[in-house]
């Protein structure tokens, strides 16, 4: 049951964010107790967007996107959120995640759900146009995320006829996102999917780390504004924390100019083969990880050999131990975060008395201040000609930064290449 209601005020440079919220206790599944009873400070920090559409940002502390997080902490959050989804849902089930922020979250929730729903499909939206050998892949649908810095999303169908038939037959949609605010994105996604042929949908489960779309003052608990906008759908919500927000502009706030990041172009750098972890419908989000792990190990061997040549005084017996450094940061890039997360999780199991954390490069422009302590800016590795960012990453804090990209290693900005503690892992040489 929800705990009592709380309220707080968050001052930001361009205005004030007033929150009312309540924490939710995750439900145990299969005798496994939830790992945490999440409080606001466990889940969120706050920052200012460089975005005229919305001036503030909820910065997740468990997502591994704008704040480096231990993989084990992320995994606990994925599992606790998945455990809120009920048993006995109508099948087939489709789990869909929102690019770019929630594509790792959706895969983690999907993987946890497969202990109960082994046939559930995973499908993520993308902002990267996909090409195959025929220079085309078939879009299933598109939708808009109105408040986003990059509003247009693409959703692709499967080239496999059996998988595509299962997708179109879906009866339950589990939509995974880091947060919900107005509910518009959820309504836009469901509407687009139904118009694209998923006309057997019976249930929609909005599954978020935090749900700000609840009306705390509603007199009727069943008066759900999102539900009323989804006709003939049985609508449910699952979240670790819920509430509502109200934003008040500061007097005469400074004008801002948002970088140009709203594109769904493919870019000039070709995407390498990393398997199918959700840009197309898949049962197995770990497809491609074994090969990616081999790529990492090969790259690490080369990296260590280069480092050894520069450290001639190191004893030979120490060189042969091939010990991993004590402070390791794994960085995914934009939507390519799930396989890098699995790599970070693997590294966490391989190290003792070491720190392993995960974060990601992003196209999202955020101002310094609040939950954002540092910002690195650089050219994107997709060849889109846009600026990318890494937040709360100070390179000198880490012995090894593993930068994971789905493009060639030479696509990475010179800023990363000039750092002697950065190892670039790419699917192509």
40-44, 97-101, 171-175, 181-185: segment of lowest average pLDDT:
181-185
Residues contacting 422, CB < 8 A, separation 6+: 395, 401, 403, 416
Summarize pLDDT for 354-398 with one digit per residue, the tens.
Answer: 899 999 999 888 999 999 999 999 999 999 988 999 999 999 999
C-alpha 125: how far from its chain's center?
Answer: 11
Q: What percent of the chain has pLDDT over 70?
A: 84
Average pLDDT over residues 122-142: 79
Going by the DSSP 8-state scheme, the letter that residue 65 receives in this structure is S
Strand, helix or coil for residue 362: strand
Q: Which two tokens stand for residue 78?
A: 């994925």
Question: Do 368 and 90 form a contact (C-beta atoms < 8 A)?
Answer: no
Summarize pLDDT for 201-260 with one digit per residue, the tens.
Answer: 999 999 999 999 876 444 444 557 888 999 999 999 999 999 999 999 988 877 666 656
Q: Provide the 10 A C-beta neighbour count for residue 223.
A: 10
Lay out the sheet containing 172-180: strands in order across: 6-12, 15-23, 234-249, 203-211, 172-180, 93-97, 121-124
Give the pLDDT of residue 398.
98
Residues contacting 179, CB < 8 A, separation 6+: 58, 60, 208, 209, 210, 211, 212
pTM: 0.90
Summarize pLDDT for 320-348 with one digit per residue, the tens.
Answer: 445 678 999 999 999 999 999 999 999 99
């Amino acid at each position: 049951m929800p705990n009592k209601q709380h309220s707080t005020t968050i001052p930001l440079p361009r205005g004030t964010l007033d929150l009312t919220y309540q924490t939710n206790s995750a439900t145990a599944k299969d005798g496994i107790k939830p790992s945490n009873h999440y409080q606001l400070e466990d889940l969120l920090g706050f920052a200012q967007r460089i975005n005229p559409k919305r001036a503030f940002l909820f910065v997740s502390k468990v997502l591994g996107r704008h704040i480096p997080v231990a993989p084990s902490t992320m995994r606990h959050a994925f599992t606790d959120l998945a455990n809120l989804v009920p048993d006995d849902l109508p099948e087939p089930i489709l789990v869909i995640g929102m690019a770019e922020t929630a594509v790792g979250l959706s895969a983690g929730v999907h993987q946890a759900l497969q202990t109960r729903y082994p046939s559930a499909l995973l499908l993520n939206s993308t902002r990267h146009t996909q090409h195959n050998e025929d220079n085309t892949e078939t879009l299933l649908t598109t939708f808009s995320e109105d408040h986003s810095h990059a509003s247009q999303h693409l959703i692709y169908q499967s080239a496999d006829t059996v998988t595509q038939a299962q997708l179109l037959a879906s009866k339950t949609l589990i939509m995974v996102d880091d947060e919900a605010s107005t509910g518009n994105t959820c309504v836009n996604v469901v509407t687009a999917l139904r118009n694209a042929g998923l006309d057997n949908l019976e249930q929609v489960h909005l599954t978020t780390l935090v749900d700000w779309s609840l009306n705390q003052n509603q007199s009727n608990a069943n008066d759900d504004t999102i539900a009323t906008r989804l006709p003939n759908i049985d609508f449910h919500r699952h979240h670790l924390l819920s509430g509502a927000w109200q934003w008040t502009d500061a007097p005469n706030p400074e004008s801002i100019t948002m970088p140009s990041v709203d594109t769904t172009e493919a870019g000039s750098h070709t995407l390498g083969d990393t398997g199918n972890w959700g840009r197309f419908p898949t049962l197995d989000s770990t497809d491609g990880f074994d090969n990616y792990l081999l790529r990492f190990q090969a790259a690490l061997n080369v990296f260590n050999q280069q480092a050894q040549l520069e450290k001639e005084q190191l004893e030979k017996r120490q060189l042969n131990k091939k010990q991993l450094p004590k402070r390791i940061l794994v960085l995914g890039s934009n939507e390519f975060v799930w396989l890098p997360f699995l790599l970070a999780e693997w590294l966490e199991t391989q190290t003792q008395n070491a720190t392993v954390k995960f974060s990601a490069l992003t196209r999202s422009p955020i101002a310094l201040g609040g939950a954002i302590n540092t910002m690195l800016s650089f050219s994107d590795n997709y060849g889109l000609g846009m600026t990318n960012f890494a937040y709360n990453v100070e390179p000198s804090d880490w012995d090894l930064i593993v930068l994971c990209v789905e493009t060639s290693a030479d696509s990475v900005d010179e800023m990363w290449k000039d750092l002697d503690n950065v190892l670039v892992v790419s699917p192509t040489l």
